[in-house]
Structures are given as C-alpha cells and as structure tokens.
Amino acid sequence: MDYKSSLIQDGNPMENLEKQLICPICLEMFTKPVVILPCQHNLCRKCANDIFQAANPFWTNRVGSVSMSGGRFRCPSCRHEVIMDRHGVYGLQRNLLVENIIDIYKQECSSRPLQKGSHPMCKEHEDEKINIYCLTCEMPTCSMCKVFGAHKACEVAPLQSVFQGQKTELSNCISMLVAGNDRVQTIITQLEDSCRVTKENSHQVKEELSQKFDVLYAILDEKKSELLQRITREQEEKLSFIEALIQQYREQLDKSTKLVETAIQSLDETGGAIFLLSAKQLIKSIVEASKGCQLGKTEQGFENMDYFTLDLDHIADALRAIDFGTDEEEEEFIEEEEDQEGEESTERKEEGHQ
C-alpha cells in the first residue's frame, strides 16, 4: 500500500490517511492485529475470520485441536481467491507496518484539538452538535431538539451506541454478502463444469450411436448383396436350362425340315421302282422324328421367382421401435432378431429343395 503517494495528492494528509486505514469489511479503522492477504490488501483479523467462517461453515478450529484441512474465501476488495491452510486466518502474516501507522495516527489525533467543523452541527440549533439518535424518527439530532424541539416526545439513545450497532449490522451484512457471492461463484463453477461434462458425454454417446448404426448399415448391405447373388444364381440356372431346351428344339426342327424336303422330293419321283427303294426308309425316319419331338419341357410356373420375396414388415417395425434403453434390452432384441433370421433361413432352404 503506497501511503506516501496517496498523502501527497490530497490537501489534507491526515484525512486521506484515515481513508487508507479503513477496513473494507467493518468500515472502521483497522483493529489490531491486521493481516495482509496474498493480494496485498489488508483486513482486521477478526473481519477476515468472519468472512472465512461464512465461506467455510464446516471448518472448525477448536481450542486444543487443529483442523486437518484448510479453506478459501475471496478478498472483498479485488475478489482474489485466498486459499488458507489448516491454521485458517491465523496463518496469515500480520502487517506490522500498518499497525504502527495506526498507532502513530491515533497518537496524532489525540494530540490535536477538535476542530469545530469536524463534527456535524444541528440545523435547528447551530451551536449544538448532533450527539443523540432519535429512535422514533430514526435520525440523528441534538440534545436541544430532545428537550425543546421537534423530538421532545420521541425516544432517543446515545449516538455512539446506535452508531456501533448499525456499523456492526452493516459489517455482518457485508460478510453475509461476501460469503453469498463466494457460494454463488462456487455454484457457477460447478455449473460450468456440468456444461463441459454434459458436452463431452453427449459427444461420446453420439459417436457410439453412429458406430452402432454403421454396423447395422454394413449388415444390411452384406445381406442385400447375399440375397441378390442368390437371385442371380437362380436366374442363371433357369436361363441355362431354357436355352439348352431351345437349342435341342432347334436341332430337332432342322432335322424335321430336312426330312420334309426329302419327302417332297420323293413325292415328285415318277418312277415307281425308284420311289419304293427310298420310301420305306423315309417313312421310318419321319416316324422316328415325330417321336423325337417329345423333348424336355419347363414345368408350369418355372419362370416364377416369387419365392425370393421377403416380408420385412416386422423388421421395419422393429427398426422404428429402436429407442434408448438398457444393455439387457438391446441384447434381448438382438437375440430375438437372430432367432427370426434363423427360422426364415430354414424356411427358404426347405422351399428351395421343394
């Protein structure tokens, strides 16, 4: 605390010095012992202990026993957080310089005569100092006002007793407010931590959910490819069988066409002997060719592919019903889906054999 520069700037050094020696908690001149905080601000040790106890209600330091944990509070001047060890405010260093300045100031004030203008005077009685407090009207006044003036019928009390009482009440209110601010700051810190943890947890579960859905997408793509390959294999087998039949019938048709041409040429033969030499064999070949027309055929509905149709309504319903639940519920759902897939696979195999 730079008292010298502050005193030089003011025309009344003693008045400015008094302002520098006021405790920010009790609003009175520092009461020894005076402690200095790490932020270089000063407090009466009693005031520091009051706000420390208010900010740490569960901290105790009974006579004959020492608390094993410290506490913390905020400087009422700059809001700097002061962290205490197990000794509490008694572990703070005393500011002997400020205590010596207080002693010098009090000696200087006691040696000075009281100036007339240093004490407020009554407006009604200009020569009377304000020295009592009207409890009825709640305002300071002078003795003449009580005896002869407006406060004659009022209840009064010594000014100093009311002064000390209200200062004590204001000091307590300040301590309560400071402690309340510390608690609010603690709550804000906790809420900020809660926000951070909430964001981290949300990001984590989003990643896990995306991974699970990616697995489902992969399973669906794999199953889709498998079923499409089965349909393609079935298509190729049927087409190969049909194309083979077409080739057989074309070959048979070519043979029949040639026999028809040969038979027509025989019918144009005029000589009976020549006709009879080839007619019997030709008739036999035509009869055999007619029997050969009984080649393989496709069964009715051979081209039908309806047995590859899937009923996915129950799976679609199950997908729509996906929701957040416990791990046990998810395992039961997966087991049910696997059982259904096994039954469907068995049914398709049986249909394929039929």
Average pLDDT of span 85-96: 85
Mean pLDDT, residues 180-207 taken together = 92
Query: Can you list the domains of the chain with their CATH numbers?
Result: 14-58+69-111 (3.30.40.10)
Distance in angstroms (rounded) separating the CA atoms of residues 351 and 354: 5
- What does the pLDDT look like over 145-160, one tens digit per residue? 876 678 878 888 887 7
C-beta of residue 121 within 8 angstroms of C-beta of residue 130: yes
252 and 293 in contact (C-beta within 8 Å)? yes
Beta-bridge mates of residue 82: 73
8 A C-beta contact, residue 175 and residue 48: no
Q: How far apart are CA 332 and CA 314, in angstroms?
A: 16
Q: Are 144 and 124 in contact (CB under 8 A)?
A: yes
Q: What is the pLDDT of residue 131?
A: 80
> Residues 285-304: what's their mean pLDDT?
77
Kind of pairing, strands 81-84 and 71-74?
A: antiparallel
- Give the closest residue to 21 by CA, choosing from 108, 80, 134: 108
What mean pLDDT comes out for the span 260-266? 79
Q: H/E element holding 158?
A: strand 156-158
Of 25 and 75, which is predicted with more confidence?
A: 75
Structure tokens at 141: 């006044």
Q: What is the DSSP letter of 274?
A: H
Q: What is the pLDDT of residue 227?
A: 93
Give me the sheet containing 156-158, strands edge to edge.
139-141, 132-134, 156-158
Taking Cα atoms as reference points, which of 127, 148, 128, 150 lies closest to residue 139? Answer: 150
Q: How far is CA 174 from CA 7, 171, 278, in A?
A: 28, 5, 137
Least confident of 81-95, 149-163, 285-299: 285-299
